[in-house]
Structure 1
Amino acid sequence: MQLDEGGGIAERGGVRVGHRIIEINGTSVVATPHEKIVDLLSTSVGEIRMKTMPLSMYKLLTGQEQPVYI
């Protein structure tokens, strides 16, 4: 999932434009479609823990710019 440039709550929480979300609350979302990630985030209650990765690192590790969904 690529982030928007809006400067919203995610950015204030440390998520940067151009990063890929790779994990939410301990669960990998690398091969998860964008719509499912949005649903997961919008229905989460309480604190959300995310791990992100710069797009350049994501490309280096996966050989992909966009995730391949399985």
Structure 2
Amino acid sequence: MVLAMIFGGHLLPFGWLYKSKSYMYSSIIVTISVLIIGCTCSPDIIALFMLLYEIVFTGCFFIENKKLMQETQSK
């Protein structure tokens, strides 16, 4: 649980550095969700949540990157 919360917390500076909403929202969502899940469920559920969230996280980056590429090509 603690490692997952540290992972979530370290994303916030990247959100500021790269001006990425995916990083900022993920930082908040992961940290709070893992805290709640960790206090109520087994460690297996935390691992499953993080695995599924990483898939969603990657998809958000692909979408964000695609939009950024379209914006830079149109300029």
| TM surpasses 0.5 | no
Larger radius of gyration: 2
Q: TM-score, normalised by structure 2?
A: 0.29
Between 1 and 2, higher relative CO (CA 8 Å, sep ≥ 6) is seen in 1
Instruction: Kindly indicate which of the two structures has a greater share of residues assigned to helix.
Output: 2
Q: TM-score, normalised by structure 1?
A: 0.30
